[in-house]
A = this chain, B = another copy of it.
Amino acid sequence: MKNIKIKETKIIAKGEILLKQGEIAKYGYFVKSGCLKSYAIDKAGKEHIMQFAPESWMISDIDSFTNQVPSLVFIEALEKSEVAIVSKSGFKEIDSLDKESVVDIAIKFRNNLIASNKRIIGLLSATAEQRYMDFTETYPTLTQRLPLKHIASYIGVTPEYLSDIRRKIAEK
């Protein structure tokens, strides 16, 4: 029985890429300071942000990390960041971990799943303006900290259109 293994801590420069689409993820990253993002590039070459990971968040492509399949996303630093690297070998089979760690992991997956499901409901049923307002309420800090174009990508609109949305909101 073991705990999750932390390999080491590392400083990542802004713009540095930690995982590429198509590669198999060897690591997960716990962000100690700064901010990372994960994003997919579609057939038209456009970027779509899946997740932001500011301080105290974990980021990785779980499917690639656990099932050794090609990653669907890139992981990249939006700011100079310090990350703790979680290695695959310390993680491989969930049931080789001690129970306490498994409970932690189950709860993390569950919380992530709840958040992803809420995002799906939003994408299916809310307008871009509603999604933007939800984002600003849910992540007020990120709203101020990140360039608008990244938020646009996360909520699923172009930066130009989000700019329009913001003006309309301001006019009210």
Contact = CB atoms under 8 A, between A and B. Distances in A.
Contact of A117 (B50, B66, B95, B106): B50
A119 B118 contact: no
A113 interface: yes
Contacts of A113: 62, 109, 112-113, 116
6 contacts: A66-B110, A72-B121, A94-B103, A106-B109, A109-B113, A113-B113
A124 interface: yes
A15 to B, nearest CB: 22
B72 A120 contact: no
Interface residues of A, number: 35
Interface of A: 40, 42, 46, 48, 50, 62-63, 66, 72-73, 94-95, 99-100, 102-103, 105-107, 109-110, 112-114, 116-121, 123-126, 156
Given A99-B99, A118-B72, A121-B72, A106 B94 contact: yes
